[in-house]
Structure 1
Amino acid sequence: MALFSETADVSVRPAVVGDESAVTAVQVASWRSTGVLGEGVIDALDVPAMQERWSSAITSPPGPGFAVLVALDGPDVVGFAAVSPGQVLSLEVLPESQRAGHGSRLLAAAVDRLRSDGSDTVTTWALADDAARAAFLEASGLGEDGRSRTLATGVREVIEHRWSAGI
């Protein structure tokens, strides 16, 4: 066995063209595994449209401060984070790759990106019934800030709570 390899075993990098399929697969698998959204919502997803939106986000971010980052395990995309000014829009890791540090690496990279863009706080939203996500965010130093929102999924109502922290 070689002491060094040409690529890192685990890492985070900016998403590139071609990552949109893996990002979509991570998102769908992650959402399905929580059980919070329900199979009706998951089954109603338009996966090709999701891939197109991720492709656009990767190749043509809507403005300064927007970025998509991916977590790699060797050459494989196992998670992603999407950031906008002051906010982590999404952070997901494949269920089978969770609890291996990928989420923490993604969050750290996202916060580094937010700081470099001048943010002094980070906010994100989490599904109200996602206890694992809440535990991750709390362990990472974020806290619920009292704000919530209701998402209209077309299938059922979904509530999210906002989490924030100074950075």
Structure 2
Amino acid sequence: MGVRAARLEDVDAVTSTQIRAWKAVYRDFLPPIPLEQMTGPAAEKMWRRQWEEAILSPPTPRHRLLVAVERVVPDTDAFTALGPGGILATAAQRASDRVVGLASHGPAEDPDLHPATTAELMTLLVDPNHIRRGHGSRLLNATVDHLREDGYNTVVTWVFADNHPMLGFLESTGWGEDEAERVLDMGRPIRMIRLTTDIS
């Protein structure tokens, strides 16, 4: 298990992880039609393009996409596969990383914040089949490490007010509401609140 920078070959896995996580968590408080618009086939294509751009040409060097991975070892005889040049490859050598979570961040964009000192955690998602294994904490810690290296001392993030699992997780790690909020029209008003934490 670990966290690393996303690679181009991760785009499909990142997109599918995002869609699965949204469907699992957001169905409890978002209306069905907007959720379908956010996670349906057309939206999936759009997200795939956006994640590809985030990896290949981020807006700034301070924009990053990180992925949480689990090492997958094939459940086969350790010495049945031939590697390059006909050399026997062990199962460990044929192991691969499975993307099970993602986090993205960049300079804060809200007009009341200074983008040189305040960053925004834009995405923090873990595949619903891989929760409670520490991936969220590892992603958050890796994000904070990068942001400190970039000279940030504060991080904010926007969370749906009814996303109680995310609110509980962030509050348990030292985040708190800063009184900013926004209301989205999704057939009915959906409230979002901004959380902040000091990483200096």
TM-score (norm 1): 0.89
Segments of 5+ residues of structure 2 without an aligned counterpart are 72-96, 108-118
Segments of 5+ residues of structure 1 without an aligned counterpart are 1-9
- The 3-state SS of whatever aligns with 1:18 is helix
Moved over 3 A (4+): none
Kindly state the Cα deviation for residue 156 of structure 1 after the two structures are TM-superposed.
4.7
- The 3-state SS of whatever aligns with 2:179 is strand
In structure 2, which of residues 45, 53, 63 is the aligned counterpart of residue 48 of structure 1? 45
State how 1:128-167 maps to structure 2 within 5 Å: 128-153=161-186, 155-167=187-199
In structure 2, which of residues 74, 94, 99 is the aligned counterpart of residue 77 of structure 1? 99
- CA distance in 2 between counterparts of 1:31 and 1:135 reads 17
- The 3-state SS of whatever aligns with 1:89 is strand
State how 1:100-111 maps to structure 2 within 5 Å: 100-111=133-144
TM-score (norm 2): 0.75
1:59 to 2:92 alignment: no
Count of aligned residue pairs for this structure pair: 157
From the superposition, tell whether residues 131 and 33 of structure 1 become closer, same or farther in structure 2 (CA, over 3 Å): same
Q: Which protein is bigger by CA-based radius of gyration?
A: 2
- CA distance in 2 between counterparts of 1:91 and 1:152 reads 23
After superposition, the C-alpha distances for 1:72-118 in whole angstroms (9 at most, x for unaligned) are 01111000000102111110001111111000000000111111111
1:28 to 2:19 alignment: yes
- CA distance in 2 between counterparts of 1:146 and 1:122 reads 15
From the superposition, tell whether residues 55 and 147 of structure 1 become closer, same or farther in structure 2 (CA, over 3 Å): same
Identity %: 39
- Alpha-carbon RMSD across the aligned residues, in angstroms, is 1.3
